Structure 1
C-alpha cells in the first residue's frame, strides 16, 4: 500500500486549475521537508489536491504554513530540454493536518473541516474517521514495486 505522511513547510502559494472534462478543481503547492541527514539541504516536492481538497488548499493554505500531509507518492517522467527524461516525485494529497491545530481537512466531503484556526471549538474528533483509499487519479505511475 502506498501511504505517506510528511511534516512540511509550504514554499509556494497554491495554484488552482480545472480539468477540461468535468471541471474538477486541481490545486498544486510546493513544499519542503527536512532530509534524513543533517548536512543535506531540505527536500522539495510538488503536492496535488483534487476536488474539495483543492478548494480548501486555495482558501486556507499560505506560504510558510507548517502542515502534516497524508497521501500517496508517485513518480512522473518529465522530458527535459536536452531530450532526456527525468523522474520527479509528486505527492497526491488525501488529508491535511495543520501543524498547530487538531483540525483536519480530508478528501471526503463529510469529513472536511474548513477552518485552519487553532480554536478548540473547531477540533475534529478522529475516532469515527475512516481512511478513504479510493484512487484520486488514474494509477499510471512507473514505480516498479
Structure 2
C-alpha cells in the first residue's frame, strides 16, 4: 500500500495550472521537512494536487505555512542532458491540513468551514490541569459471578 503522511513547511507557494483544454486543475508546491536526526539536513519534496484540491492549495496555502500532507509517493524518471536518467520523488496529495493557526486566506469551500483551530479550545476549556483533584477516586469493584452450581443442574443433558 502506498500511503504517506508528511509534516512539512511550504517553501514555494503553490502554482496552479490546467491540463490540456483546461479540463483539470493541477497545483504544485515545494515543501521541506527535517531529517530524523538533528545532524541530518532538511529535505525538499514537490507536492502535487489535482482537481478541487489543486484550487484549494493555490487559494489557501503560501510560503511559510506548516502543513500535514496525506497522499501517495510517486517516482518520476527522466533523461538528463548529461546522458543519465534522473529519478525524483513527488507526493501526490489527497488531503492537506494546516498546522499553524488559521489558513492564509479565506476558504472558498463550505466543506472547510467546520475546521476549528486547536488554540481556541485552550482558552475556553474548563479543565485546569494544574489544579489537584479534591478527592481521589476509588475504583468500583463488582462482586464476581457465583461459581457454585446447583445439584439439580445436570450439564451433561443436552436436549437434542
Provide the TM-score with structure 2 as the length reference.
0.63
RMSD, matched Cα: 2.7
CA distances 1:110-144 after superposition (whole Å, capped 9, x unpaired): 99416988486xxxxxxxxxxxxxxxxxxxxxxxx
2:62: which partner in 1? 62
Q: Is the 8 A contact 1:15 1:28 kept in 2?
A: yes
Aligned residues: 114
Show structure 2 runs of 5+ residues with no match. 104-108, 121-160
Deviations 1:79-130 (A, max 9, x none): 2220211110010000011113599xxxxxx99416988486xxxxxxxxxx
Offset, 1:53 = 0.4
Say if 2:48 and 2:93, in contact at 8 Å, map to a contact too.
yes
Question: TM (normalized to structure 1)?
Answer: 0.70
| Alignment correspondent of 1:94 | 94
Alpha-carbon spacing, 1:11–1:116, altered in 2? closer, same or farther (3 Å): farther
Per the TM alignment, residue 38 of structure 1 is displaced from its structure 2 partner at its CA by 1.7
Structure 1 gaps of 5+ residues are: 104-109, 121-145
Matched, 1:27 2:27: yes
Q: Distance in 1 between matches of 2:19 and 2:102?
A: 32
